[in-house]
Each structure stands twice: as structure tokens, then as C-alpha cells.
Amino acid sequence: MLLRSLHRATAAAPPLKQSLSQLSVCRSMAAKAPKAANPTKGKKPPSKFDNKEKRPEELQAMTPEFAAKEEAELRRRLLAEDEKNPALDIGPHGGPLFSSASSLSLLTKDDTNTYVKFSMEELKEVLPEGLPMGMMKEFEESSRSAVLVRQSFIDLRDNFRRVADPSLVVNSKAPKVRKQIVLDGPVSCGKSIALAMLVHWARKEGWLVLYVPRGQAWTHGGLFYKNPQTGLWDTPVQAGKILQDFLKYNKSCLQGLKCNIHDPIPLGEGAGVGWPKGSDKMPISEETTLYQLVEAGINNTHAAVGVVVRVRQELSKVTSVPVLIAIDQYNSWFTFTNFEEPVTVRSFRPIHARELATVSRDVFAQ
């Protein structure tokens, strides 16, 4: 109805008004007509905030990894500032949170449940074989290189201190001295950290230490060959790595120790090079030092496994310095390896760790 009334009113209007009405309609239609598309106007002009125009440091600031890194760095700075405030050094029962002992040798039972600080440079120097995963995780979560002093570590240290010096046993009620100890407990309860602290203490005290932070590496990966002379499986790749790690901290000590066993060392199949040509044994002279013995095993892949076995035998005969053998992940030596022996064309037999020459009970379980 409304549209029809407007139309009738327009038809009855005078010619001038009708022309004006038509002109008005034309103007209205012209105003509503779509404009021609401008090929350049529809594009968004480049912005100085566009990612392509940003500097690398501006893009990095937007990533979650960078934000987490910045947060961790801020926490470390705040912790460093807190350490300068004596009022914040409050531990259990109102005592200090950090021990004032300058070394692990000076720790007493009063330092139990306090923290002892390390520098990463010192740890890498004293434990070049590598730090246990539990210690690295604790350092990362706490943002500081400090570990908790537990009574179990003090007891462990004092036990081996009395092993090296029996005169320290003055109390008949003191715990019995044990030369062999197995650390047992739930996962992540601090066994690996206690063992690493014991190795750190022993080396600072001048002990000769064979430290294996990852015992499972002895039974997993690498090449393996059946040695017909021993009936055991040789792992020359692992043996070479064992000798290299043993030499990292103990080089100077081994240079001053001569071999006590002079029997020739049997050679085996080398890592990817087959059996040796010529002699099947490596002679050992009376002037050979333990350092030269280890070097021979590193340089000769055929002798690597035999040298590891001989080094263990030699360590049991060293009397001039205290000797400690510390094996982490020791439980992996009482189960199957990831090596398999072919039985038929389609079947394989898993090889147990006790069948490896480097892990055999005749070598380490004495």
C-alpha cells in the first residue's frame, strides 16, 4: 500500500516537479551504484609489525620457548639475590638451609637435611664420565647446582672411609664395615646422587675410581660377537668407551701404577674389522703401567674387551691407593640385554647380561 501511494503521487505531480522527482531518483540510484573495484585499494598495506619485517629478536620474543627461558633466567637472578640475604638462609628447625662445609669430606651429621653447593665446572672436572640424570633434573628444577645432604650419604662415606683406614674404627658398636654395598630404594629416591657424591668425595681424597654412571650402556647397543675362546659375548664398542671414560680422570694415577698380572691378553673380534691377523694375544711386560694397558685397549679394538677384563683384575691387586668401583644402574646387569643370538632362520634367543665378557660375574662379582 505504501509503495503504491507514492507511485500515484508521483504520476499526478506537475512536469517540473516530476522532472525533479526523476532527477532525485537518478541521483539516488547513482549514489547507490557499486563503484569499480580498485585492484590496489583492496590490499592491506604492509605494516611495520608484519612478521616478515620483524627483526629476529622480536620474533624470538614471541615463542613459548623464549618466554620459558626468560622466566628461568629471571628465577636464577632472584635466587642469586636471595642467597645474599642471610635472613633467607633458614632450613629445617630454624637452622641454615645451606651447609657451610667446604667439601664433602667435612660434612657431619649436623649437616643432614641441608644443601651443599657445587659449581658445574668442578662437577664436570671431577665426574667427566657424566652426571646422573637425577642430579641434572634436580639442578634444572631448583635452578641451582646444589644437592641435599642425607644421612644415608654420610653413612656411606664413613663406611668406605673406615675401609681405607681401619684405625678409624674405635667404637665396637659402630656399624660393621662393608667393602661391597648395593644401594636399593624406590625410583628417584636419590641413589644415583648419593653414588655420584661418593665418587666425588673419593676422588678428592685421592682414590682410584672406576665410575660407571650408566651401567645399562654396557648391555645395549653396539656390535657383539661370540668369542669361541671364552664362550662369552664380546662388545668391543662398549669396551672402548669404558676405557676412554676410565682414563678421563685417572690418567695421572694410572701412570704411576705398574701391572701386577703379566699374562698375555687374548685378542678377540674387533668392531667391524673381523679377527686379528697374526698373533691372537697381546703381550704384557713387567714394565707396563696401567695407563699403557688402558691405552692399548683404546687403540686396538681387538684388545678392548680383554683389557677391560684385565683392568678389573688389576684393580683388585692395587694396594698403594684406595680403589672404588661405582656402578650406577647395576640392576641392568641382572636381566637381558637387547642383543639376540640367531637360533633358526626365524627365531632368536635373547642374550643375558651375564653372558657378556665385560659384565660376567667372573669379572665384577668378586
Exposure of 345 in the CB half-sphere (CA atoms within 13 A): 0
Asked whether the beta carbons of 67 and 77 are under 8 A apart, the reply is no
pLDDT, averaged across the chain = 82
Among residues 297, 242, 302, 303, the alpha carbon closest in space to that of 272 is found at: 302
Q: Residues 222-231: pLDDT tens digits?
A: 899 999 988 9
Domain range list for the chain: 74-204, 208-364
Cell of 118: 657445587
Question: In what helix (H) or strand (E) does residue 308 lie, and over which residues does it extend?
Answer: helix 304-315
> Which of 49-63, 126-140, 168-182: highest mean pLDDT?
126-140
Q: Is the pLDDT of residue 286 over 90?
A: yes
Q: Is the pLDDT of residue 325 over 60?
A: yes
Non-local CB neighbours of 72 within 8 Å, separated by 6+ positions: 143
Asked whether the beta carbons of 202 and 126 are under 8 A apart, the reply is no
| Model confidence band, residue 56 (pLDDT cutoffs 50, 70, 90) | low
Q: Is the pLDDT of residue 14 over 90?
A: no
| Model confidence band, residue 280 (pLDDT cutoffs 50, 70, 90) | confident
DSSP 188-226: TSSHHHHHHHHHHHHHHTT-EEEEES-GGGGSSSS--EE
pLDDT for res 207: 97
Q: Higher confidence at residue 199 or residue 43?
A: 199
Give the mean model confidence (pLDDT) for residues 140-165. 91
pLDDT for res 205: 95
The pTM of this model reads 0.75
pLDDT for res 58: 54
Give the separation between CA 63 and CA 72, rounded to whole angstroms: 15
